[in-house]
A and B are shown apart, each in its own frame.
Chain A
């Protein structure tokens, strides 16, 4: 008779190790991040330096949900060179990077914006910053984005891809977790109270959507 004791123990150990090393999930499907904090700090510093302009300050989740064209939860998977915007003297004054996402869940807004080729677009400072952002990019990091459609704009625009949708996060609208805290990546103050982690953000967005439907 063959013993089944060893395979059973091995399977138990494997399951235990897997449970310890995988991101934990809650009822919202939002995973706790497994990222290096120094990298996240640098990622946040670079992007907030480039995107922290004088912006409207949203006072509630309902307000930013209402202003956004679409709100999504997703994992960051990559970054690539984006568009360039030309100033009134013919010089390029702004460059962007395009954040690639996977595992996208639409929380609110116009799902049609995500039906084709779409990217989350952020400003960069200088041509060299793309490489540095790529080095510190928190890949597989879960994030929530409150996005507005910036595909069409009044600037002279270079390097745009025909048919692609370009979605910009509001300054307070790119949220992820680091070191157990909610981080506003673009430097915007997380003004709405009651937000402590991504799960609470998702809960509040869904609550706003439900109240709007009611």
Chain B
């Protein structure tokens, strides 16, 4: 994707259309589908445009498989390229996601923190923390809710902001997806990104 964009940029530069690039390149200040007025801040981390690299700590087999599926599905349905690797905390291109099982305070199912930035514009490392015990305690549909929270936190690592409710103001463009907060009932709606959110992902990668 990066090579593709560079090729387009070179071609347009040759045609004297560099200004057009500035207009179509997404602004780092608005990488996400914020949902005013109930989205008080941008909780997404702006990623670099390279393949989205991930590494995993120790996971139970099923939950680890659901996590890999979540990334693979996004890879197949967007311009994001997912790469699974051993955690790399050296050099110039760090692993983007370190996903691990964690104990979070009551009520909190998952959190994503950008724990290393590259300059002031992109995030080099997101720690994705998932509390499987909390998700299990919050509802009967364990698989559906784990998969939804994994998709949700990976979304934050790609710059997406979550939204709070299925009612007004709800999802951007009215399309529900995994970026909703809280417990869901089993439906594939909650394992993927809406067209609106995919457009944000595609604008980065």
Question: B105 at the A/B interface (Cβ < 8 Å)?
Answer: yes
The answer on a CB contact under 8 Å between B113 and A55 is: no
Contact of A55 with B182 at beta-carbon distance under 8 Å, contacts A93-B113, A148-B107, A171-B107 already known: yes
Q: Which residue of B lies closest to A188 (CB)?
A: B164
Q: Give residues 106-140 of A contacting B (CB, 8 Å).
A: 123, 125
> For the complex, what is the distance from the CA of A123 to the CA of B111, rounded to whole Å?
11
Q: Which residue of B lies closest to A85 (CB)?
A: B102
Contacts between chains A and B (CB distance < 8 A), count? 103
The answer on a CB contact under 8 Å between B138 and A56 is: yes
The answer on a CB contact under 8 Å between A93 and B129 is: yes
Q: Interface code B98-135, partner A: CB below 8 Å = 1, 0 otherwise?
A: 10111111111111111100000000000101000010
Q: Which of B102, B107, B112, B164 has the most CB of A within 10 A?
A: B107
Q: How far is the CB of B94 from chain A (nearest CB, A)?
A: 12
List of 3 A-B pairs having minimum Cβ-Cβ separation, nearest first: A53-B111, A168-B105, A57-B182
The answer on a CB contact under 8 Å between A52 and B104 is: no
The answer on a CB contact under 8 Å between A57 and B181 is: yes
Contact of A54 with B40 at beta-carbon distance under 8 Å, contacts A87-B98, A150-B106 already known: no
- Pairs across A and B, CB under 8 Å, 13 listed: A49-B42, A53-B108, A54-B109, A54-B152, A55-B108, A55-B109, A56-B182, A93-B115, A150-B106, A154-B103, A170-B107, A187-B41, A191-B164
Question: B149 at the A/B interface (Cβ < 8 Å)?
Answer: yes
Question: A153 at the A/B interface (Cβ < 8 Å)?
Answer: yes
The answer on a CB contact under 8 Å between A87 and B43 is: no
The answer on a CB contact under 8 Å between B100 and A87 is: yes
The answer on a CB contact under 8 Å between B41 and A57 is: no
> Which of B108, B114, B115, B153 is the one whose CB lies under 8 Å from A171?
B108
Q: Which residue of B lies closest to A173 (CB)?
A: B107
Q: Interface range on chain A: under 10, 10 to 19, 20 to 34, or 35 or more?
A: 20 to 34
> For the complex, what is the distance from the CA of A94 to the CA of B103, rounded to whole Å?
11
Interface residues of A (CB under 8 A from B): 44-45, 48-50, 52-58, 67, 85, 87-89, 91, 93-94, 123, 125, 148, 150, 153-155, 168, 170-171, 187-189, 191
Using Cβ atoms and an 8 Å threshold, which residues of chain A touch B185? none
Q: Interface code B56-96, partner A: CB below 8 Å = 1, 0 otherwise?
A: 01100000000000000000000000000001000000000
Contact of A49 with B41 at beta-carbon distance under 8 Å, contacts A55-B109, A56-B107 already known: yes
The answer on a CB contact under 8 Å between A54 and B106 is: no
> For the complex, what is the distance from the CA of A154 to the CA of B133, rounded to whole Å?
11
Q: Which residue of B lies closest to A166 (CB)?
A: B105
The answer on a CB contact under 8 Å between A54 and B149 is: yes
Using Cβ atoms and an 8 Å threshold, which residues of chain B touch A88? 57-58, 100-101
> Which of A53, A85, A94, A187 is the one whose CB lies under 8 Å from B40?
A187
Using Cβ atoms and an 8 Å threshold, which residues of chain B touch A154? 103
Using Cβ atoms and an 8 Å threshold, which residues of chain A touch B162? 52, 54
The answer on a CB contact under 8 Å between B165 and A53 is: no
Q: How far is the CB of B168 from chain A (nearest CB, A)?
A: 12
Contact of A87 with B110 at beta-carbon distance under 8 Å, contacts A53-B104, A54-B153, A56-B183 already known: no
